[in-house]
Structure 1
Amino acid sequence: MNALVGTKVAITSSKPQTTRRVIRGIVHRPDAQLIIVDTPGLHRPRTLLGERLDSLVLSTLTEVDVIGFCVPANEPIGKGDRFIAEKLAAVKKTPVVAVVTKCDLATREQIAAQLLAVSQLAEFEEIVPVSAESGERLDVLRDVLVGRLPASPPLYEGGQLTDEPEQVLVGELIREAALEGVRDELPHSIAVVVDEMVPREGRDDLLDIYAHMFVERPSQKAIVIGHKGSRLKEVGSRARGHIEALLGTRVYLDLRISVAKDWQRDPKQLRRLGFYD
C-alpha cells in the first residue's frame, strides 16, 4: 500500500499479524481515485484480540469493490495462504485479484512457478506480479484495480493520502520501532497509546508527544527497556525520526512503558487500548 500511495501510511514489519487496524491509503489520478484498504491478516485467532481482528477483516471485505490477495514470490505457498484463499472464495460477487509481491527477491523461474501455483489456489480475476521495492508493475496493478471500480465522485479531497488521525499514525510508528529486533513472542503483546500531542509553550517549532507502550508481562517490559534503558532509547530515537518526517516538525517524545496483564484476552483492556467490539 505504501508503494501504491507513494508515501508511508502503514507500518511494516517482518512479524505476522502486525496490522491491527483498517488503514486507508488514497491514490489520486486524473482519471480515478483509488482507495486502498489495508486490513489485518486473516488467521486462526488464539486470543480475543485475534477474534476481533478477524471479524474486522471479514466485515471490511464485504464493503470493498475489489479484493487484493497478496502472496510473496520468494516463499512457497503454505497453509496460511490456502486458508485465506478459502475465506476469500466465500466472499461472493466481489472480484479478487492475486498480487504476487516481492518479485525483486525472486528469480524469473521462481516468479513463473509462483504464478502457476497461485493460479491453482483459486479462480482469480487477474494475477499481477509486482515489486514494491523497485516499483516494477505497480502501474499495472493500479490500472487493474481502477478498472474494477464503479463510477463515483471523488470520496477524498486532492492531496489527502490517508484518513487516519495523526495520533493513531504516531502510535503506529512507535509500535513499528518497538517491533524491530524483538523476540518472536513479543510483537503481538505490544500496544501503544498516544495520550497527548501539544505544541511546546512559547515554541512554534516543537511538538511534545506523550505516549504509553503496554506489554503483557514484566519479562516483556524488561526486553523492551533493555540494559540500562538502552533499547527503549533506541525505540524512541527511531520512532522520533519517523514521526518528524510524518508531521514535518521537530518532536520531543516522552515514551513510558507499563504492564497490562494479558490485555489481548481482556475485553476491558482491549477497549481501553482502542480495540472495540
Structure 2
Amino acid sequence: MNASAYRAGHVAVIGRPNVGKSTLVNALVGAKISITSARPQTTRHRLLGIATFPEGQLVLVDTPGLHRDQGKSTATAMHRWMNRAARGALEGVDAAMLVVRAGHWDEADAFAYDVLRGAGLPVVLVVNQVDRVKDKAALLPYLAQVSEGREFAAVHPVSALKRKGLEALVKDVLALLPGQQPLYGEDEITDKSQRFLAGEMVREQLMRQLGEELPYATTVEIERFETDGALLRIGAVIWVERDGQKAIVIGKGGERLREIGARARQQMEKLFGSKVFLQTWVRVREGWSDDEAALRAFGYHD
C-alpha cells in the first residue's frame, strides 16, 4: 500500500442507547474493549477503540447513548455526565457513524442525526442487527424512508454481532478520513489502561446479572492492580447506594458475588492474556450517582 494512500482519523460512534454501538466497536477492533449488555446506557465512558487495517486506521470514539437533556430537575448527575461525554465525542473527529437498529427509526434517532449534521460531520448510517430482520424485503423501503430528506455519506446494513457487512463499511468510512500516517501503533487497541478495563469487566457482569434489579445503582473502583510475575492481582470494590442493594449483589451465601467475580476474571484473562487473581468487595455510598464529587472520585471525569 502506497504510504500516501493511507488514511487515518477519528470517527465518532453515535446513536441512541442500546443499538449496539459497543458491539460494533469491538467487532471492528477485533477485541473486546467496550462492555456490552442488553441494558440501555451500559457504556458510561468515552473510550477509543483503535482498528488498524492495511489501508488505514479508524480511531473509533465509543460513547454513552445520546439522548435529550432531561434538565437538572429530573436527570441525575450521572445522566448529565453521560450526555456530556456523548456530545464531547464530536470534538475533533473527522466523521461519524450513526448506529440505528434495523427496522426502527424514532425521534431519538432523528435527534442523534440532527446533532451530527449540526456539528458539520459527514455521517455514515450503520443499520445494525439486520440478522434479526426476518423479512429482508422490508429493509429496502425502510432504508428509503430513513434516507429521505437526510444526507448520508453512505448507508450500510450490518450485523456487528455476527461481523457481517463490516468490510464495505470500513472502506467507506476510511474514504472520509484524511490521508496521513497511523495515529497509534499497530498493536494498540484502546487508549484506556488495563486497570480501567478491569473495572469495566466487573461492571459488565453487574449489568448482565443484575440489570433488572439494579440497572444503574452500581459502579466499580479498582483499588489494587499489581503484577506478580505472570499473575495479575486485582482488587475491585463494587459501590452501591443502599444496604439492600449490597445484599442483592452479594446474594445468598455470597453466591452471586462469586459468580460475578468468576465471569469477570475469565474476561480479564482473555483480554490481558495472563492469569488473574481477582478479589471483590461490596461497599455502600449513599446517593453516589447524583453526587458530582463521588463521580469524580470514581473516575467520571469530563
Provide TM-score, normalisation by structure 1.
Answer: 0.92
**Structure 2, gaps ≥5 residues long:** 1-24
The CA RMSD over aligned residues, in Å, is 1.7
Alignment pair present for 1:238 and 2:238: no
Residue 161 of structure 2 corresponds to residue 136 of structure 1: no
- TM-superposed deviation, 1:121: 7.2
The residue correspondences of 1:17-166 to structure 2 (distance < 5 A) are 17-44=41-68, 45=70, 46-73=75-102, 76-92=104-120, 94-107=121-134, 108-120=136-148, 122-166=150-194
1:198-255 CA distance string (max 9 Å, x none): 134xxx2322111111112222222211122111111000001001111111111110
Of 5-14 and 178-187, deviating more is: 178-187
Which of 272, 275, 288 matches 1:247?
272
1:258 aligns with 2:283: yes
How many pairs does the alignment contain? 272
Cα deviation for residue 195 of structure 1 reads 1.1
CA deviations 1:136-163 (Å, max 9, x no partner) are 2100110111000012221111111112
2:35 counterpart letter in structure 1: I
Q: Which amino acid aligns with 2:209?
A: G
Asked if the contact 1:210/1:254 (under 8 Å) is kept, the reply is: yes
Report 1 or 2 for greater relative contact order, CA contacts < 8 Å, sequence distance ≥ 6.
Answer: 2
Aligned partner of 2:248: which letter?
I
Moved over 3 A (4+): none
The change in CA–CA distance for 1:262 and 1:122 in structure 2 (over 3 A counts) is farther
Structure 1's unaligned 5+ residue stretches are none
Q: Give the alignment partner of residue 205 of structure 1, picking from 226, 230, 249.
A: 230
Partner of residue 2, structure 1 = 26
Q: Secondary structure at the match of 1:34?
A: strand
Q: Verify the 8 A CA contact 1:77 1:117 in the aligned structure 2.
A: no
| % same residue | 38
TM-fit CA distance, 1:183: 4.0
- TM value normalised by structure 2: 0.85
